Amino acid sequence: MPFLDDLKMYTRFVWGLKKFLRHTITLKEAKEIVKKRLEDREANFLRLVRKGIFGYPKSPYLPLLKLAQCEIGDIENMVHKRGLENTLRSLREAGVFVTFEEFKGRAPMVRGGKVIPVEARGFDNPYLSHYYEASSSGSTGAGTRVAIDLDHLAALTPNIMLSNDAHGILYLPTCLWFGTLPDNTGIENLLRGVLFKNIPCKWFSPITKKNFRPALKNKIATHCTILSGRILGLHFPWPQPVTLDQANQVAHWAKNTLMAHGPCLIRTHVSMAVRICLAAQEEGIDLTGLAFVIGGEPPTPAKVGEITRTGARFAPSYWFVEAGIVGFGCASPVDNNDLHFFKDRLALIQCPIQVPGFDIKVNAFCYTSLLPSTPKIILNVENDDYGDIEIRSCGCPMEEYGFSEHLRHVRSFRKLTGEGVTLVGSEILKILEEVLPARFGGSPLDYQLVEEEDEQGFTRLSLLVNPKVEIRDEKEVIQTLLEELGRSSVAADLARTIWEQAKTFRVRRISPIWTNAGKFMPLRLMERVLSPDQEDDKIKT
């Protein structure tokens, strides 16, 4: 009964929203919350495992723990004797981990020759209450469910407050350039602003009526949320459509705000910040005094160069959608993407993983959630990102707050990322291997998607098509690719909306690339790793 389910969901969400909108957190309280969470890490982890896994018979982790012959008592003993991270490493060695594809319900878990079927919903936290479900599964039944859970939103806020305070940007007049539901970045930023008493004064959305039709329930949810806030006297802005090629409108907001109020802040994705800065450069607008909080993609030197050229500054943020914010830029960084890890809410270990199609291994990140408000129960879950964990004294306020670990050189090795949109790699494989050969000829070995960065720093997804395949109009190939993405799932349709505007896809008539070992991978997302300046990313094998 989808209608009844939706009705129940709205009621729960609006009920929670009323309470949420009346609540605020001071900086002092945020510091105390983080301090307490850091002290209670192990106890919080054990509580979540006890209740969310051993107390939940449908938990997909139970078969893994059974195979590892591990009971709750064993985990408790291990944590007390050897600490949290060592326990997680032992569990991983015993097969208790989940790959990103498994976590998304796109592949069954296979451990010790046993196949354990799993679906993405299986990882949902069974104890969530006031959530709004932004995105439902697509026709393949393998879409992404992303919930806005108000308790989770509140739990992330102290991290955001402390990190923003470290950069002196917490209370600056703020503008958002984020999509509307089912993309939940915009609405979450709006709601979070309530908690620390700095509601964004402007919200631009790259999702417009012309390029995307959100489901009715998403439109209702956006309206309900904004109206609920306004009834309570909160100045929630309505989202104003601004497509990627209208970035100058956002630059004008910054120019006017800088003149009227002084320093201000824009929260958006990395590439969209680049677009704003290119528009500002074209119109000769000086953005000194403007700060960006950017995420969604690695802030590469080319992208960052375009931002800082305008006089603006930036702070990177790093998210794992299902877990929330993972890290935020150090206030005295050694490079563009030097992040402090939020270990009060998450635990992180690394494991060497062979990159598909390349003869290299990377130190993949494997996450565990610690707080009861987590939307998904996450126990040693890979998110297809890798990087370095570094303990270093930087002297910035984040260190003082207890965030001693730095994350460096964070990259993704299996996800398609561009313009702040991320897609599970397997989502596009069917198109490359089946749809395109059937429509334009050739075999699955004649098509390959390569992630590259162009001269201006924008991420491009180049579709290599073997010159042997006769194609009359390359635009038709891209059109087919986009249309198929739109049909695949809600998440893929959102990606299509942005990538179509950004002209992210391009066709190159060259033979697909094979590895030295003679392997062929339809997706090559690691070109950058193989460039000479990124040699350090490799683990020597």
Q: Give contact residues for Zn ion (rule: CB under 5 A).
A: 330, 394, 396, 398
Nearer to Zn ion, 130 or 167 (CB): 167
Residues 6 or more apart in contact with residue 298 via CB below 8 angstroms = 270, 337, 410, 411, 417
Nearer to Zn ion, 314 or 458 (CB): 314
Distance CA 238, CA 236 (A): 7
Rounded to a whole number of angstroms, the minimum distance from the CB of residue 30 to Zn ion is 17
Q: Which residues make beta-bridge pairs with 406? A: 340, 390
Distance of CA 121 to the CA centre of its chain: 18
Return the structure tokens found at 166: 């470290």
Distance CA 441, CA 51 (A): 53
- Phi, psi for 318 (deg, rounded to 5): -125, 125
Residues 6 or more apart in contact with residue 530 via CB below 8 angstroms = 358
Rounded to a whole number of angstroms, the minimum distance from the CB of residue 389 to Zn ion is 14
Strands 381-391 and 405-412: antiparallel
Among residues 521, 294, 298, the alpha carbon closest in space to that of 426 is found at: 521
Rounded to a whole number of angstroms, the minimum distance from the CB of residue 337 to Zn ion is 13
Residue 366 near residue 524, CB atoms below 8 Å: no
Nearer to Zn ion, 64 or 339 (CB): 339
Rounded to a whole number of angstroms, the minimum distance from the CB of residue 194 to Zn ion is 28
Question: Helix or strand or coil: residue 352?
Answer: strand
Nearer to Zn ion, 146 or 394 (CB): 394
C-alpha distances (whole Å) from 540 to each of 352, 355, 359, 390, 530 are 11, 13, 10, 19, 13
Nearer to Zn ion, 385 or 399 (CB): 399
Count of H helices and E strands in the chain?
Answer: 19, 22
Rounded to a whole number of angstroms, the minimum distance from the CB of residue 318 to Zn ion is 14
Sign of torsion, CA 237 238 244 246? negative
Nearer to Zn ion, 396 or 521 (CB): 396
- Supply angle C-alpha 38, 59, 371, rounded to 5: 15
Nearer to Zn ion, 280 or 398 (CB): 398
Distance of CA 232 to the CA centre of its chain: 31
Residues 6 or more apart in contact with residue 212 via CB below 8 angstroms = 493, 494, 497
Distance CA 83, CA 526 (A): 34
Nearer to Zn ion, 299 or 486 (CB): 299
Nearer to Zn ion, 372 or 402 (CB): 402
Residue 257 near residue 264, CB atoms below 8 Å: yes
Rounded to a whole number of angstroms, the minimum distance from the CB of residue 394 to Zn ion is 3
Among residues 449, 469, 460, 455, the alpha carbon closest in space to that of 513 is found at: 449
- Exposure class string for 110-127: b at 16+ Cβ within 10 A, else e: eeeeeebebbbebbbbee
Rounded to a whole number of angstroms, the minimum distance from the CB of residue 390 to Zn ion is 11
Rounded to a whole number of angstroms, the minimum distance from the CB of residue 317 to Zn ion is 14
Rounded to a whole number of angstroms, the minimum distance from the CB of residue 391 to Zn ion is 12
Cis-peptide into 182, omega within 30 deg: yes
Residue 122 near residue 377, CB atoms below 8 Å: no
Nearer to Zn ion, 131 or 328 (CB): 328
Nearer to Zn ion, 148 or 170 (CB): 170
Distance CA 478, CA 272 (A): 22
Rounded to a whole number of angstroms, the minimum distance from the CB of residue 405 to Zn ion is 10
Nearer to Zn ion, 146 or 398 (CB): 398
Total residues belonging to the chain: 541
Residue 203 near residue 180, CB atoms below 8 Å: no
Rounded to a whole number of angstroms, the minimum distance from the CB of residue 403 to Zn ion is 8
Nearer to Zn ion, 163 or 243 (CB): 163
Rounded to a whole number of angstroms, the minimum distance from the CB of residue 328 to Zn ion is 9
Rounded to a whole number of angstroms, the minimum distance from the CB of residue 399 to Zn ion is 5
Among residues 320, 340, 321, the alpha carbon closest in space to that of 329 is found at: 340
